[in-house]
Structure 1
Amino acid sequence: MANADTLRLSPPLQEHCDLGAATSYWHDTQGLNLPALLALGPAFEEVQTKRDLNFGYTQSDIWLRTHLHNDSDEAASWLVRFEYPFLDHVTLYTLRGQLSEAQHSGSALPVSTRALAHRQAVFPLTLEAGEQVTLYTHVSASGSKFLSYALMTPEAFYAQNDRHNFWLATYFGMLLALSTYNLLLFFGLKERVFLYYALFAFGFTLAILTFNGLGTLIFWSFLGDNTARLVAFGFTFASTMGTLFAQSFLNTALYCPRWHRAITFFRGYCWLALIAVMLLPTQPALRLMDITGFTASLLILACGIYCSWCRVPSARLFVLAWSLFLLGAAVFALRNLGLLPANFITLHGIQIGSALEMLLLSFALAARFNKLKKQKEQAQAETVAMLKHQETLLEAKVAERTYALERLANHDMLTGLLNRNGLARCASQALERSRQQHTPLSLFMCDLDRFKPINDAHGHEAGDFVLQQVAKRLTHLARNDDHCARFGGDEFVVLFEGLCDPKAIDELRCRIEQAIQQPIKLPDGRLVCIGVSIGTSTSYDANATLESLMREADHNMYAVKSCQPYYRYGSAG
């Protein structure tokens, strides 16, 4: 018989299930194993909200208990996934009657000993038809303990994992590129500001790579319990380098000597903190990391605001960039200390803030680079040429990535409608539905008449405005399941699914003609009118393709256009 708090599972309808609502917890100050825990029989506390699973820097271990029941008539496979990756040791016990099965994971374990080789603690779980089990999870971690976890089907888990890996790879690729690029700038220009920035980015990347679990998964799982200490070292080192970068970038020794002395004094504390995080027990080291990082960010921001008020060059961009980083660092530190709830923003805020901050600082450094380049003497021409070559290579890589992303885009930037790629994708799906459901697919090709005189008389901005209004009118007439596309220039294509009646097609064509022919009020208040020639085609053949529909509609459209009055563009001669 299932308990009142048992979570009932109904695969395959449920792909993702949050376990927090059916979980109870207990603080373990003795380091018990499962038999000792069951013999002791402690009173578990029920989780009321997700915030209850954020235990902060608690000294004790945490036990979680969840009752599960498979309501399906078939066996089901699941994955238990902990959202927070920075957990040293996580042991999942699956209690079936009197028998229990133990699985181990966590950032402090070698990859080969984890239940599943993943950056987060993930455990496979199989439930037989109608089976009820109790999950006991023992978590031991020196860092902040945020223990939100969920049950996912393997398909949902790996689909989500692919998305997360894409963004993480993009994020860390950006950090690595910025670090390397600024290091090359330092070697070329011999300006320490680029070295300080590269070291700051390196320390931050080291810490965040370890914190997210990718570092231990790929590179240094052999560190064991020292993994958390590497996070503390990386963030504290980044704070130290950040003070040097701020002084050099803002030239505080010249513009604000008092702030320069204050930051220098604080950096002495940072060096002591860097030594301390290597010697202190892990949890105090992590607390010291949070305090040091938050204080350094706040101090640098205050200095930047003062320099901005004094009109120091590039200080405003520096303040904007550092404000974003401070916001991310603040939510990271306050969540670790248990003062903020754990959610997507507080878990990933430091990554979002740091990415924006480093991009903005890179722009500021690029401006500094251009200024320094103008000041170099002729003897440094070869160095400048080498740096230009590196800059060209980086710009080429960015251009290649931008081009690849643009190729993947499915929508027209001007009108918001589908572009050709998007139309091809939607048409392929619509044709497949048409074959399966034995329903026709109608294609309307709309070519605007009298559009060129608007461009000639009012300018391309007015022409773009007219195209946007036409797109809005087509979208308004289309149903939710229809697809509108800008095929190119002043040509639009609309796919209608399930239109069987030729009379209905003619009526819809008339409605589109009437809608487009309505006067359009330009932003300057003038009214313009355009016409439209519409060619239609309908697929009744299972072998129909988008190309065949387009050819037929294009032929019919030109037949309609040939019957339209002839409009002479340009002045009369």
Structure 2
Amino acid sequence: MHARRFIAGVYTGLLVLLTVCFMPWAQASIPLSASPSQASYSLAPYNEYWHADTPSLTINDVLAQPRPFQPTQDAQDLNFGYTRSEVWLRAQVRNDSPSPQRWIVEFEYPFLDYVTLHILRQQRNDVLRSGSAVPVEQRALSHRQAVFPLELDAFETVTLYTHVAASGSKMLSYNLLTPEAFYSQNDRHNFWLATYFGMLLAMGLYNLLLFFGLKERIFLHYSLFVAGFGLAILAFNGIGTLMFWSFLGENTSRLVALGFTFASTMATLFAQSFLNTEIYCPRWHQVLNTFRSYCWLAVIASLLLPIPVALHIMDVTGFMAALLLLICGSYCSLRRLPSARLFVFAWSLFLLGAGVFALRNLGILPANFITLHGIQIGSALEMLLLSFALASRFNKLKRQKERAQAAMLAALKKQEAVLEQKVATRTRALEHLANCDMLTGLLNRHGLARCAEAALERNRQNGHRLALLMLDLDRFKPINDCYGHEAGDFVLQQVAKRIAHLARTDDHCARFGGDEFIIIMENIESCDTLENIQARIDEAIRSPIKLPCGERVSVSVSIGVSTCLGTEGATLESLLREADSHMYAVKSRQAVEFYRYGSAS
């Protein structure tokens, strides 16, 4: 009896030990099989998340007992908005390559305070840290975003546990990229960010110099607005922390709130000066004075209140300022005040960007490129327009009002004409893309359907015979296998050129998919004509093709034909089915003939 109890206890202990050892792997989601042939992967479809109600849990606490991790389907599922709880992410990554590979784990949203990545392997647990509140020298990689290096041995599978703690919005979409793809993407982003901040710096300094030269406060108000806004965006994008104030830690988030609320305060002053509300709209002037008092209180609150509260105040203040100034500008525009329309247009763009930014932070809008950078796009356009408006004041002092209006009207008409031309060009390009195959230049399936519908309608009206030829290339796959897909694409292009060359002017040639082509011929007079066309197509396609590498290859073709008269009421689908059936019958006969020929030899 004691021996049986002892054996049962041993088995129970072994089972518990195995469960504890393999718990990280058993709980993880479906692993991402990473191959170096693909430059980037989104980890969202392979990810699970868990909101930790208890703060400051360690990885051992998470692994000690099962946690209610929830699976995600796409990046939108990882946009949690303003949530106080810390978030744990879990994903598995497997190296499908027989050689070690290096990857980069990148979080798209740069405004995350603390991001800790635990890489669980069979023998060890690697811990990497990053985030906007982490000093640069302590980050896994010195970058404005939370990025981590991931080294994978041949066919190795690891589990990634990521702990995220942030005072602001938690938009946690993250990707797996090769170093080449990561640094290429980083160069593009840095270019646009440098352009954006260079523009802000130029406009701010330019208007500050104008203030010192002309002693008009409107230029000072605008410079202070640009300075506050630029400071907030600099901190929000992680560039400020990376280059200037890494020592601030969590106060980087406070700097974002302070910059945006200060910019809202300066925006009300600028609007009053630009629209001259004290003279033309006294009531609105008083409303803006009252709102500015609230903005100063919001600035003080951003300095004193907890950071999450300060960030909420920032969102509310920025949105209210943009909306209030838009309404004020619209009222001034209705009263035909000078430059009011341009002000409304500029602030409409800014309101759109600020609204998208705030609603994305609150988790209402999905996280994507537009919502992530909406405030930057809107502010850039708004500041450019307002800068042009300020510069035009110099000319208005020297010109008559009628000449200025005429010049602006001419400029608007010219811009409208250019825009209409661009729209027309773009429409034609989109129509071509929608109906033509990108590789061969022939019609694609959508274009084929449109042409076939029109051809069948003409066929029903005139009662002539219509034919559909389905061409399927034979011996094409070995070319891809031997010489690569680029050679295969080259062969398809050459075959398409030959088919288009043999087709008549009114025939419709399409690439149906892969190595299949379709020809629709109208007004076919006799079967002899079809046989002659098939023979010429077969002869043309069989002709050798010289590849770019110098090798010569050849393919053959199986052709299936279907015909109809205008009185038969045929459709494209019925013609395709009939031609497909005939084509496979031809292919089968060719295979039997090849087998007999091979057996006889």
TM-score calculated relative to the size of structure 1:
0.66
**Aligned residues of 1:239 and 1:293 also touching (Cα < 8 A):** yes
SS of the residue corresponding to residue 339 of structure 1 reads: coil
**Cα gap change, 1:478/1:242 in structure 2, threshold over 3 Å: closer, same or farther?**
closer
Q: How far off is 1:244 after superposition? A: 0.2
Contact residue 29 and residue 90 of structure 2 kept, 8 A: no
Q: Is the 8 A contact 2:29 2:71 kept in 1?
A: no
Question: 1:140-186 deviations in whole A, cap 9, x for unaligned?
Answer: 11111100000000000001111111111111111111111111111
* TM-superposed deviation, 1:60: 1.1
1:14 lines up with 2:2 in the alignment: no
Map 1:473-552 onto structure 2 (within 5 A). Answer: none
Pairing of 1:64-213 with structure 2 (within 5 A): 64-97=89-122, 99-213=124-238
1:224 equivalent in structure 2: 249
Q: Which residue number corresponds to residue 64 of structure 2?
A: 39
Matched, 1:24 2:48: yes
Judging changes above 3 Å, is the alpha-carbon distance between structure 1 residues 479 and 298 closer, same or farther for their aligned structure 2 residues? closer
Could you tell me which residue of structure 1 aligns to residue 299 of structure 2? Answer: 274
Q: Secondary structure at the match of 1:94?
A: strand
The structure number with the bigger radius of gyration is: 2
1:262 CA displacement: 0.3
Displacement of 1:45 after TM fit? 1.2
**Aligned counterparts of 2:32 and 2:47: Cα–Cα separation in 1:** 13
Say which SS state the counterpart of residue 13 (structure 1) adopts.
coil
Deviations 1:377-405 (A, max 9, x none): xxxxxxxxxxxxxxxxxxxxxxxxxxxxx
Q: Deviations over 1:476-523 (max 9, x none)?
A: 9999689xxxxxxxxxxxxxx9999xxx9xx99xx9xxxxxxxxxxxx
Provide closer, same or farther for how the CA distance between residues 477 and 99 of structure 1 changes in structure 2, counting only shifts above 3 A.
closer
SS at match of 2:206: helix
Q: Is the 8 A contact 1:199 1:241 kept in 2?
A: yes
The CA distance in 2 between the partners of 1:285 and 1:316, in whole Å, is 33
Q: What is the CA–CA distance in structure 2 between the aligned matches of 1:262 and 1:478, rounded to whole Å?
A: 59
What is the root-mean-square deviation of aligned Cα atoms in Å? 3.7
In 1, distance between residues paired with 2:82 and 2:29? Answer: 28
Q: Which has the higher helix share?
A: 2
Q: 1:223, 1:321 → 2: CA distance? A: 34
- Give how far 1:58 is off: 0.8
Q: Partner of 1:85: helix, strand, or coil?
A: coil
- Say yes or no: does 1:323 pair with 2:343: no
Distance 1:373 1:189 in 2: 15
The Cα offsets for residues 9-41 of structure 1, whole Å up to 9 and x where unpaired, read as 242212100001111111113310111221133
Residue aligned with 2:250, SS: helix
C-alpha separation between the residues in 2 aligned to 1:218 and 1:332? Answer: 24
Q: Which moved more, 1:76-85 or 1:184-193?
A: 184-193
Aligned residues between the structures:
416
State the Cα distance separating 1:199 from its structure 2 match: 0.7
Matches of 2:152 and 2:281, distance apart in 1: 67
Alpha-carbon distance between aligned partners in 2 of 1:292 and 1:367, rounded to the nearest angstrom: 30
Mapped partners of 1:351, 1:211: distance in 2: 11
Residues 8, 71 of structure 1: 8 Å contact kept: no
Distance 1:372 1:271 in 2: 34
Could you tell me how far apart the structure 1 residues matched to 2:363 and 2:256 are? 18
1:355 maps to what in 2? 380
Distance across 2 between alignment mates of 1:37 and 1:258: 59
Mapped pair 1:369 → 2:394: yes
Report the secondary structure of 1:209's partner residue.
helix
Name the amino acid aligned to 1:160.
Answer: Q
The 3 A distance-change label for structure 1 pair 373 and 32 is: farther
Alpha carbons 1:85, 1:211 under 8 Å: kept: yes
1:151 and 1:119 mapped to 2: Cα distance?
A: 17
**Structure 1 residues 5 and 198, CA, compared in 2 at 3 Å: closer, same or farther?**
same
User: Residue 5 of structure 1 corresponds to which residue in structure 2?
Assistant: 29
Check 1:309–1:72 CA distance in 2 against 1; reply closer, same or farther (3 A cut): same
Aligned-pair distance for 1:48?
A: 3.4
Deviation by residue 1:318-342 (Cα, 9 ceiling, x = unmatched): 0000000000000101111112111
Q: What's the secondary structure of 1:312's corresponding residue?
A: coil
| Superimposed CA distance per residue, residues 410-453 of structure 1 (whole angstroms, 9 cap, x where no aligned partner) | xxx9x99xxxxxxxxxxxxxxxxxxxxxxxxxxxxxxxxxxxxx
3-state DSSP of counterpart to 2:205? helix
* Structure 1 residues 77 and 478, CA gap change in structure 2 (3 angstroms): closer
Displacement, 1:253? Answer: 0.5
1:61 to 83, 86, 98: 86
Instruction: Indicate the SS of the match to 1:176.
Output: helix
Question: In structure 2, what is the equivalent of residue 236 of structure 1?
Answer: 261
5 Å-filtered alignment, 1:379-390, equals: none
Contact 1:23–1:47 under 8 Å retained in 2: yes
**Partner amino acid for 1:281?**
P
| Residue identity (%) | 64
Distance in 2 separating the partners of 1:479 and 1:272: 58
For the Cα contact (< 8 Å) 2:196–2:380, is it kept in 1? yes
8 Å Cα contact 2:32/2:46 also seen in 1: no
Give the equivalent residue in structure 2 for 1:302.
Answer: 327
CA contact (8 A) 2:34 2:93 kept: no
Partner Cα separation in structure 2 for residue 67 and residue 5 of structure 1 = 7
The structure-2 alpha-carbon separation of the partners of 1:480 and 1:54, relative to structure 1 and needing over 3 Å to count, comes to: closer
